[in-house]
Structure 1
C-alpha cells in the first residue's frame, strides 16, 4: 500500500515587516500560496493551509485549518497540521517561501521511508530550515508539551529527537542558486517574486 503524504503551508504570522498579510499576496488572480500548493500537489496526496481564520482565503479549493493554538507562531501551526494529518510524515513550508523545489523535497521524502527519524530537515549554511521539513506524527505530544509550557522555539521542541539533517552539499546539487529557501519579509523583496513568476 502506497504511503500517503500531506503538505501543510503555514499562513499565519503578523507580517509586521511587510506591512500587510503576505499570505494574501496575489500573482494575477491567484493567491501566491495557491500557486505554491499547486506545485506541491505534484508529489503530495493532499495540501492544506493553516491560518488563524479558516475563512481567510474565501472560496478556494484547499482545506484551510484554523489554528488549534492561536498566537503560538510556527509551533502552533505545526501542532495543528500534525493533528489534522493522517500521514505518518507531513511536510511543512512557510507561505513566504514560493520557490518550491520538488526534486529536493522528494530527496528528503526518501528518508521518511526508513521510519526512524522524527524530523527530516535541511541545513542552510550554518542554519537550519524548520519550515522546509518533514515532521513525524509522533511529534504531536512534543509540540503540545512545548506550547503548554510556553516554549515555542521549534529547535527546543524537537531537541533530543532523532533528526536527519540534509547537508548543504545536497542542497547545492538540486539548487545552485539556493533560491528554494528564499523568503520575503519586505516590500522590496516582492520584485524578486514577481520577476521570477513573470519569467516563468
Structure 2
C-alpha cells in the first residue's frame, strides 16, 4: 500500500496528573515520541507535532506547529493539525499513546481509499469513540473552528454532523486483541506498561 496523507501527534496538554511533560517520556535514551513518529513514517509522508510550546522541539526533524489558541485541549490540536497538514486526510494520535498497530491504520486507510467522500474514520471502544486514534478530513475544519469559537470542545459533539465512518470494537480487536492501542499514560504508575512493550529491544523507561 502506498503512503497516505499526514499523521499528527498531539504534544500539548498540561500533564498535571503525570507530574512532568509526557512528550519527554523516554524508552532507554530515546523519546517515546520519536519512536512513535518513526513508526508512523512507515505509512505517512508527513509527520506533524502539534504543541503548546514550539521551542520544546527545536531540534526535532519533524514539522512543528504551535497551537494558536491555548487551553482548548485536543479539539484545538486536531484543528491545528488539520489546518497545516499538506494532505486531505490526517491521522491523529496523542504523544502518550505507546502502542501502535500499523496494520490497523492501513485498514483505516483502505476505508478512506474506498470511500473518499467520508470526512473521517473514527475508532470506537464499546459505545465510546477514540478521537485520538482516528482520521479526519480537512472538510471538518469549519466544524472544529465553530466549536472552538463557541468553546464547545467535546470532540464527539464536534463530529456529530460530519460524514464519519465508525469502526466497531469487534473489528478493531482483529488488529489489537486487547485494545491496547487505546492505552494512554496519565499517571506515573502507568509508565510500567512500557516495560511490557518491545520497542526494538528497548524496554526500560524514564523521562528528561
Q: TM-score range by the shorter chain?
A: over 0.9
**1:79 alignment counterpart:** 79
Length, aligned pairs only: 199
Listed as ranges, the gaps of 5+ residues in structure 1 are none
In 1, distance between residues paired with 2:129 and 2:148? 21
8 Å Cα contact 1:15-1:21 kept in structure 2? yes
1:40 Cα deviation (Å)? Answer: 0.3
**2:127 alignment counterpart:** 126
Structure 1 runs, 4 residues or longer, greater than 4 Å off: none
1:1-200 aligned within 5 A = 4-113=4-113, 114-197=115-198, 200=201
In 1, distance between residues paired with 2:144 and 2:69? 11
In 1, distance between residues paired with 2:189 and 2:107? 32
In 2, distance between residues paired with 1:199 and 1:100? 13
8 Å Cα contact 2:104-2:175 kept in structure 1? yes
SS at match of 1:129: strand
In 1, distance between residues paired with 2:70 and 2:109? 29
1:123 Cα deviation (Å)? Answer: 1.0
8 Å Cα contact 1:55-1:64 kept in structure 2? no
Listed as ranges, the gaps of 5+ residues in structure 2 are 202-208
1:3 Cα deviation (Å)? Answer: 7.3
Q: Which has the higher contact order (CA 8 A, sep 6+)?
A: 2
Q: Deviations over 1:49-101 (max 9, x none)?
A: 00011111231211111112221110100111011012110000011111010
8 Å Cα contact 1:69-1:80 kept in structure 2? no
8 Å Cα contact 1:25-1:31 kept in structure 2? yes
In 1, distance between residues paired with 2:140 and 2:20? 32
Flag the 1:137–1:199 CA change in 2: closer, same or farther, 3 A. closer
Q: Deviations over 1:120-173 (max 9, x none)?
A: 011112211001000001111111111001111111111121111111111111
TM-score w.r.t. length of structure 2: 0.91
SS at match of 1:78: helix
